[in-house]
Structure 1
Amino acid sequence: MDLTSYWFKWIVLAVLTFSSIPCLDTSTNGDSVGPTPTGVSLQLQINDTSNTDEPPPSEDQTSPGNENEFCPDDVDCHKLGAECIDCNLDTNCHYGHKQTAKCTVKDGINCIGKKTFSIEYDCKYCYQVDPSLYTCNSSSTCTVVKAPRQTFIAKCQVKSEIICLGNRQFHKSLPCNWTSGYKWSTALLLSVTLGGFGVDRFYLGLWREGIGKLFSFGGLGVWTLVDVILIAIGYVGPSDGSLYI
């Protein structure tokens, strides 16, 4: 074996040995006690990049005054809504009876007069107050004209000026009650005058029945008469399940 081939084998062996050693990241911080694996370093770099791209929180997001955006300035303190004051309510009160609570205006809210005052309220939980004292969202997906009448779960919010016990937001089961603009008088008029051609059914969005009435000449008059009665009593309504207006 000559000297050249001997050194060539040692060089190849050294290259293979060093290539099998995993790459180590030597750019570690002062808190590290050893090298960091490349995959972890790459993940840290990605996280650092994403953190630098994210803008710092604005003053509106962190400012305590943003929570009181529904609390106007320069009004009498006792006229502020429930979102603007903290009241000491008695949960052991007698249901339905008048109670007196001591309320204090929240920090950061400017108002006129004393910031600590007494206010009267009815001993009721918020979901027990009169329906005229809270507002709920509506639903346009449930069917109104159906027996038994369908209900949906609505999210309700007590009005600002109402003081009550418990959560001011709550869920309530309400009957489906929405409209998409169909008039009962128009549907009945079309049924009486042009019902033989299925115009009443077309108006209500019931185009399949309308085609059937059109090609059968209103079921030789029988279907037309039946539809007049059904529309008059409200049994036949819009195809989307809404109420007449």
Structure 2
Amino acid sequence: MKAYGITILLFIDSCLQSVDGYLSSPHVGQEPPYNRDAQQSPVITSPVVPAPTTVSPISPSVHKCPSRGLCSKLPADCITCTQLYNCTYGKPASFSCEAKPDVHCLGPSGQQVTNFSLTMNCQFCWQLDPSKYQCTNSTSCMTVACPRKRYNATCTVLDHVHCLGNRIFLKRLYCNWTGGYKWSTALALSITLGGFGADRFYLGQWREGLGKLFSFGGLGIWTLIDVLLIGVGYVGPADGSLYI
């Protein structure tokens, strides 16, 4: 029993010494060192900005012009041709043309070329057939008038058509638009209900319609005159448009 007691005392003593050494360590029970400079002037890191990448500009003609096709089939806006003003009007002539930058096309042999020859009729753009250009339409001019009225239209040549001069030009055209009024309906109303001004009301001419209504068609005389005027197309819609 004495030997067991001594052994237990020695074990307890070694445990107490270990605990005492850990508690007496400088790392226990102390706060981490305080950095005054770090607290007063915090370090701020700037975000990483990627370096700008340079993109080479792309010519607008690249999106409009077909690539790897025949040069002779390119639209007129994709090529630049010499202007031969000494050619014979209306006759085919050969023009020296060059594809615009960034436009790639092929010659007759299937090889990529830059300069090529193009055959087209010798005429200015404003001399083309009306089916080869598009013009703006005016809805403010009178179509039913004597003499017929004209308006200044801005015309643009179609892409696949080649011609001399400016592809955008001005041209005086006859007023040609419609508001949806039918000539047959106006004539039928003039014959059947013209005495009550129905034809004038239909065409949007309210004052004339009221005049015919309260005068019983001008005792029939006004009615007969309107039948003739509407029949020949002299009397039209009040907005100045054409019949359909």
TM-score, scaled to structure 1: 0.70
For residues 199-224 of structure 1, give each alpha carbon's deviation from its aligned partner in whole angstroms, at most 9, with x where no partner exists.
11010000001111111121122111
Provide the rounded CA distance (Å) in 2 between the counterparts of 1:171 and 1:213. Answer: 43
Provide the rounded CA distance (Å) in 2 between the counterparts of 1:134 and 1:149. Answer: 22
Higher mean alpha-carbon deviation, 66-75 vs 88-97, is at 66-75
Equivalent residues in 2 for 1:1-245, closer than 5 Å: 63-111=57-105, 113=110, 114-115=112-113, 116-245=115-244
- Aligned to 2:64, the other structure's residue is in SS state coil
Provide the rounded CA distance (Å) in 2 between the counterparts of 1:233 and 1:149. Answer: 15
Provide the rounded CA distance (Å) in 1 between the counterparts of 2:227 and 2:116. Answer: 63
- Structure 1 segments unaligned to the other structure (5+ residues): 1-58
- Aligned to 1:72, the other structure's residue is in SS state coil
Question: Cα gap change, 1:236/1:128 in structure 2, threshold over 3 Å: closer, same or farther?
Answer: same
Provide the rounded CA distance (Å) in 1 between the counterparts of 2:139 and 2:68. Answer: 40
2:18 aligned residue: none
1:10 aligned residue: none
Shift of 1:72: 3.3
- Aligned to 1:65, the other structure's residue is in SS state coil
Provide the rounded CA distance (Å) in 2 between the counterparts of 1:157 and 1:174. Answer: 14
Question: Cα gap change, 1:87/1:232 in structure 2, threshold over 3 Å: closer, same or farther?
Answer: same
Conserved in 1, the CA contact under 8 Å of 2:204 and 2:238?
yes
Amino acid at match of 2:133: Y
Provide the rounded CA distance (Å) in 1 between the counterparts of 2:57 and 2:179. Answer: 42
Provide the rounded CA distance (Å) in 2 between the counterparts of 1:172 and 1:242. Answer: 20
Larger radius of gyration: 2
Shift of 1:74: 4.9
Amino acid at match of 2:59: G
Conserved in 1, the CA contact under 8 Å of 2:61 and 2:102?
no
More helix by share: 1
Shift of 1:73: 3.8
Conserved in 2, the CA contact under 8 Å of 1:68 and 1:83?
no
1:55 aligned residue: none
Superposed structure 1 runs of 4+ greater than 6 Å apart = none
Root-mean-square deviation (CA, aligned residues, Å) is 1.9
1:17 aligned residue: none
Shift of 1:164: 1.3
Shift of 1:185: 0.3
TM-score, scaled to structure 2: 0.70
Conserved in 1, the CA contact under 8 Å of 2:142 and 2:175?
yes
